[in-house]
Structure 1
Amino acid sequence: MLRLASYNVENLFERAKILNRNEWIDPGSGTDRRDAARQLLDDFAKFNALLAKEVYSDTDKVEIVALLEALGLGTSDESQFVILRRNRRSLVKRTGGEITVIADGRDDWIGWLELKTEALNEKATQNTARIIGKLRADIMVVVEAEHRPSLLRFNQQVIAPVAGWSFDHIALIDGNDERGIDVGVLTREPHALDFVRTHVDDTIDGKRVFSRDCPEFHFALGDSRRLVILANHLKSKGYGFPAENDATRKRQATRIREIYQGLRTAGNEFVAILGDLNDSPGRDPLSPLLGEGSDLRDVSEVAGFDNAGRPGTFGNCTASDKIDYILMSPALFALAHGGGIDRSGVWGGTNGTLFPHIPEITKATEAASDHAAIFVDLDL
């Protein structure tokens, strides 16, 4: 038997400060500032897109100044949430309260804008390891991991002492998200990776398709059969305009479907798509994967699958909060049995009483993740 799982671990040691929900509350008024956080991330993306231009037009320079001020960088290269890094020469000069763009293009200076990070709650990190220890997955896709070194540290320094065992192999390729939220895979013997194929540079109309990546993890099963896993984290609903976000997710889902069909045509019978697809079943953005014409089967259809009374995987786990998936090719689905949703690492509701969680979680900030883990057992 092989246990396959997917878990959005929401970074393990550090994450961008702007993604910390505690930073969304104005301490003086208790006002929810998520709209401001979304706007800052939009401005961050626009600023980096401008910086990449070969030539900065007069219009670009006006927008650069406006974005610097919007990002809190009017008087300094560092604000509450972002830092303007400069390695050689300068982008701007600040004199008498005014900002002037002195670089005429990308080649005139070396630097970048980055999001400030902060350490996560140590108890939350340990609780993430406790949930992983409960799962005892043989192959686990992780979403929102910072990079491979962080997964190595987490495996050796947290999972091993907390769970009493650890993974044998870890793979992660840096993706397109500048915030350091990537997708990777952790495996236990005898399930060693054969090879990885990245789709980080796949483009449509000259633009990269994936917000992170859609890596193919290929496993040789020892009897001439092969298991291929596509790990994903699609564009979120939370930042930008809803219609644009939906369109982006649909492009991503369409490309995933193409990759999946290519694998099937090449003779791969056992293919699974795992991860955070950031949308619920029945909505148009996921129709290439879940709609008419697709032969992919959702893990929730497996006999004996236990959703513990709720269909969702995020937040309060309502039906509209079903955003984490394990989708399987027909041949792989035929070998699946059992499985379920483990939401014991999620706080659940305002007071954490909406559903049971592990006793080590005593307040919301100690939750292992806002996402439940999802898993299935396969006769492989």
Structure 2
Amino acid sequence: MRLASFNVENLFARPKAMDADAADAKTRRAVLTAHARVSTLLAQPSYQGHEQEILDNLEKLGLLRSDEGEFARLRKLRGALLKRPRSGDVQLVAKGRNDWVGFVELKTVAVDEVATENTARVFAELRAEVAVVVEADDRPGLHMFSQTLLPEVGAEAYEQVMVVEGNDERGIDVGVMVGDGYRLVQIRTHIFDRDDEGVIFSRDCCEYHLEAPSGARIVVLANHFKSKGYSEKGDPQGAKRRTRQATRVAEIYRGLLEEGFEHVCVAGDLNDSPASEALQPLLSVSGLVDASEHEHWDWNHRRGTYGSGNEDEKIDYLLLSPALRAKQTGGGVFRKGVWHGPRTKDPWDLFPTLTAEQHAASDHACLYADFTDL
């Protein structure tokens, strides 16, 4: 069996603020930082002490005087957030989360058609029986991708495609595609899990329970942890959220072992490096091993998984239970869909169709691990 995990960064539409054709890197970073911060503040039960920061970030998004900005939109379903007089300063009238219903969303643009085709080529070349898909738009979109795009690049469509909608309103969910005799037999979502701080998962830690042709049960925990954010001043709030998420995934993993599930894989984008303190509650779990530690793992030029592939950019993972690790025969990092410039030292191979940055399948490389007797 081959098991893959790939953050596709949306298949058909992605935030305009992430589009290199829409703005320069400085503008994109400023918009994404402002959106992440104001979304966190607006979710708080009380806005006291944060009033000016909320207004400042809305202004950065072009939403202080209008609900429509170039890169973002203010959605108001009930109640009022702001008072916008014809003259004078805009005022924050909501006192906290319970005073209004709404959110700030990032506007989206269509993903470049060649980029989507290159995403399909990644899955076609690897042909994993089980593929975890991070940042899937939705189930209909992922199903359409499997049914139409994969055959166009010479691969068979997956027999089963599933996405459980998570907690992120942007439509970046964690799904799975399953084929070649493997079957999806059970799903458990954790979007409602809470601790003393509130809801734990930014997206989900979705349990996809699979049955192999041999009858063996495999449980894949598909994850997409809180992003690091885009600020150059650090990410203390994001790190705190990732710590909570890592702690809860470790609890879920231990619970599965206690239930008798031996073959368990924690997969996906954990948005932090192995050396980070935030991931230690998960990475330090006894017996849970990173698939990349296998002697036959192919790093493919770099020891990272995101962007330029530097070692501190290893943020995607396949973590294996002891029984699953015992059956691992190899694996690696597939980079053909990740763009690199002409000046990159020791460059990796690219698809012939990947001739410009906007044609990249993703900024993330795809991970895969191979197993025997499953």
TM-score, with length taken from structure 2: 0.89
The answer to which of 253-262 and 154-163 deviates more is 154-163
1:253 shift after superposition: 1.2
The answer to which of 267-276 and 84-93 deviates more is 84-93
Residue among 282, 292, 302 paired with 1:300: 292
- Secondary structure at 1:309 match in 2: coil
- Give the Cα separation in 2 of the matches to 1:375 and 1:337: 11
- Give the Cα separation in 2 of the matches to 1:341 and 1:271: 20
- Give the Cα separation in 2 of the matches to 1:143 and 1:102: 37
1:46 shift after superposition: 4.0
Q: 1:85 to 1:140 in 2, by over 3 A?
A: same
- Give the Cα separation in 2 of the matches to 1:4 and 1:309: 21
- Asked whether the 8 Å contact 1:43–1:71 carries over to 2, the reply is no
- Asked whether the 8 Å contact 1:127–1:366 carries over to 2, the reply is yes
Amino acid at match of 2:310: T
- Asked whether the 8 Å contact 1:43–1:70 carries over to 2, the reply is no
- Give the Cα separation in 1 of the matches to 2:7 and 2:348: 19
> Which whole-Å deviations, capped at 9, do the CAs of 1:281-331 have from their partners, x for residues lacking one?
23322222323x521111122242222232211111121121111111111
Structure 1 residue aligned with 2:137: 146
Residue among 303, 309, 316 paired with 1:311: 303
Gaps of 5+ in 2: none
Amino acid at match of 2:358: T
Structure 1 residue aligned with 2:12: 13
- Asked whether the 8 Å contact 2:161–2:175 carries over to 1, the reply is yes
1:121 to 2:112 alignment: yes
Paired residues in the alignment total 369
1:19 shift after superposition: 2.4
Residue among 39, 45, 70 paired with 1:45: 39
1:176 shift after superposition: 1.5
> Which whole-Å deviations, capped at 9, do the CAs of 1:132-184 have from their partners, x for residues lacking one?
10010100001111111211221122122123311111111111122221111
Amino acid at match of 1:184: G
- Asked whether the 8 Å contact 1:129–1:163 carries over to 2, the reply is no
Structure 1 residue aligned with 2:196: 205
Residue among 20, 23, 26 paired with 1:32: 26
TM-score, with length taken from structure 1: 0.87
- Secondary structure at 2:265 match in 1: strand
1:5 shift after superposition: 0.4
Amino acid at match of 1:328: L
Structure 1 residue aligned with 2:338: 346
Residue among 259, 263, 271 paired with 1:266: 259
1:284 to 2:277 alignment: yes
1:368 to 2:361 alignment: yes
- Asked whether the 8 Å contact 2:34–2:57 carries over to 1, the reply is no
- Give the Cα separation in 1 of the matches to 2:337 and 2:30: 28
Residue among 299, 321, 330 paired with 1:329: 321
Q: 1:58 to 1:186 in 2, by over 3 A?
A: closer
- Asked whether the 8 Å contact 1:24–1:37 carries over to 2, the reply is no
- Give the Cα separation in 2 of the matches to 1:307 and 1:324: 13
Amino acid at match of 1:369: S
Aligned runs of 1:212-231 on 2, under 5 Å?
Answer: 212-221=203-212, 225-231=216-222
- Secondary structure at 2:2 match in 1: strand
1:246 shift after superposition: 2.2
- Asked whether the 8 Å contact 2:8–2:362 carries over to 1, the reply is yes
> Which whole-Å deviations, capped at 9, do the CAs of 1:183-233 have from their partners, x for residues lacking one?
110111421211100111111214111111100111123555310000111
Structure 2 residue aligned with 1:28: none
- Asked whether the 8 Å contact 1:312–1:318 carries over to 2, the reply is yes
1:370 shift after superposition: 0.8
1:244 to 2:234 alignment: no
The root-mean-square deviation of aligned C-alpha atoms, in Å, is: 2.6
- Asked whether the 8 Å contact 1:253–1:286 carries over to 2, the reply is yes
Q: 1:104 to 1:47 in 2, by over 3 A?
A: closer
Residue among 337, 358, 377 paired with 2:351: 358
The answer to which of 73-82 and 8-17 deviates more is 73-82
- Give the Cα separation in 2 of the matches to 1:78 and 1:23: 16
1:83 to 2:76 alignment: no
Amino acid at match of 2:184: L
